[in-house]
Amino acid sequence: MGIMRIVKLTTETKKNLLDDLLKRSPNNYTEYADTVQEIVDNVRANGNKALFEYTKKFDKADINEGNIKVTKEEIEEAYKEVDTHLLEVIRKALVNIRTYHEKQKQYSWFDSTEDGTMLGQKVTALQSVGVYVPGGKAVYPSSVLMNIVPAKVAGVKNIIMTTPCNAEGKVYATTLVAANEAGVDAIYKAGGAQAIAALAYGTESVPKVDKIVGPGNIFVALAKRAVYGYVSIDSIAGPSEILVLADESANPRYVAADLLSQAEHDELASAILVTTSDELANKVSEEVDKFIAELSRSEIMQKSIDNYGYILVADSMEEAIEAANDIASEHLEIVTKNPFEVMMKIRNAGAIFIGEYSSEPLGDYFAGPNHVLPTNGTAKFFSPLSVDDFVKKSSIIYYSKEALEPVHQDIIDFATSEQLTAHANSIKVRFE
């Protein structure tokens, strides 16, 4: 059993840790880029034919124009398979998620002046959005809710989901139920890079969308990067991560449990404790070992902790906060005597959990804020998925003749200075 490594926080150890974490970025997996590009190009050129061939090859399923789209009957069937209590929980979570995202809505605005100008910003929802939902070993209905709800609240008319099916052509029942509850418009059986290409370029069966969101494996991540610019994407998500910022007042058992809540996702997941207390550092390390011994995904957790788990001991809370801002973690928990005071000093984090009863899974499933968060240090410049991701803005400009007259010469002069005489002329002709 490897006890979690405890390192003194210095400029050196922090640099090593940051270098280490960045190795997990999807940007480093370029060896698959050619394969992905080939799949994307093939689907773009050959539509359904390529999509169905890849589905046969990778998912072992016989999918055709007749059965690629999930039917009403399949959705009704799924409701029979999902535990009624789980359905209740999904519905409760949906209310919280919807309520939170409704507060993010932005509206168009127009400002007029007495001298005859009107300027404004028109906010328009995207027409169509594709939501990718992974198949594979695990099923994440929570992720289905988090990707569909903000699009729905934004007013997107057409929300299309793609998700891989099994060899029998079936999709996870909980995935179907969660998507239906959240208000999806259509679901197609397609996975991997081929599904991303189908959404980006459209096939005879799958409609083209304006934006693709949702998590996936490295092939999905690279395919999203390959189609970016032709369509919009949410982000290229790296492995999950948690940082707990704690002082001597923290409960070591809680902290250890929270660190492992991320480590179980993936061998590349990272769990970091930054603390001002040597005693807490040692106790948390012991508790981590106890939990790994009794929890189900112990092998994944052990690898994740061995590779990307750290306990950093800082001399002062100031130093600890600075380290947290440099690491810019996806999830940040603050378990200190004055957590709100610490929160004021945090600049970089995807989601901030305050106090010992706000553990990270609360945000994953239920509280309402989105759990699609920036990873791999991108919280320095990216935000959680939100309603903003599903709208775009247009600028509105109106001048009357009376408003244009007094400034028209200024515009002519500016255009002339750039040697753009046709620009100048387009203003000039109106006052000849």
Angstrom distance (rounded) from CA 67 to CA 63 = 6
The per-type count for the chain, helices as H runs and strands as E runs, is: 17, 14
- The catalytic position among 331, 333, 356, 360 is 331
Cα(185)–Cα(371) distance, integer angstroms: 22
Instruction: Look up 330 and say whether it is catalytic.
Output: yes
Question: What are the start-end ranges of the E strands in 268-384?
Answer: 270-275, 309-313, 331-335, 351-354
Single-letter code of the amino acid located at 292: I
- Give the DSSP H/E element, type plus range, for residue 404: helix 401-404
- Strands of the 211-213 sheet, one edge to the other: 186-189, 158-163, 128-132, 211-213, 232-233
331 is catalytic: yes
Contact status, residue 113 vs residue 91, Cβ threshold 8 Å? no
Kind of pairing between the strands at 309-313 and 391-399: unpaired
Q: Give the three-state DSSP class for 92.
A: helix
Range list of β-strands (E), 217-350: 232-233, 241-246, 270-275, 309-313, 331-335
- With vertex at residue 428, the alpha carbon angle to CA 427 and CA 431, rounded to the nearest 5 degrees, is 105
The b-or-e profile of 127-141 (16+ CB within 10 A means b, else e) is ebbbbbbbbeeebbb
Do the beta carbons of residue 362 and residue 353 sit within 8 Å? yes
Question: Computed from CA positions of residues 380, 385, 386, 391, in that sequence, does the dihedral angle turn out positive or negative?
Answer: positive
**346-381: burial string, b at 16+ Cβ within 10 Å, e else:** bebbbbbbeebebbbbebbbebbbbbbbbbbbbbee
Instruction: Point out the catalytic residue in the list 181, 264, 287, 330.
Output: 330
- Tokens standing for residue 40: 């994307």
Q: How far apart are CA 129 and CA 210, in angstroms?
A: 6
Pairing of strands 117-125, 391-399: antiparallel
Just list the catalytic residues: 330-331
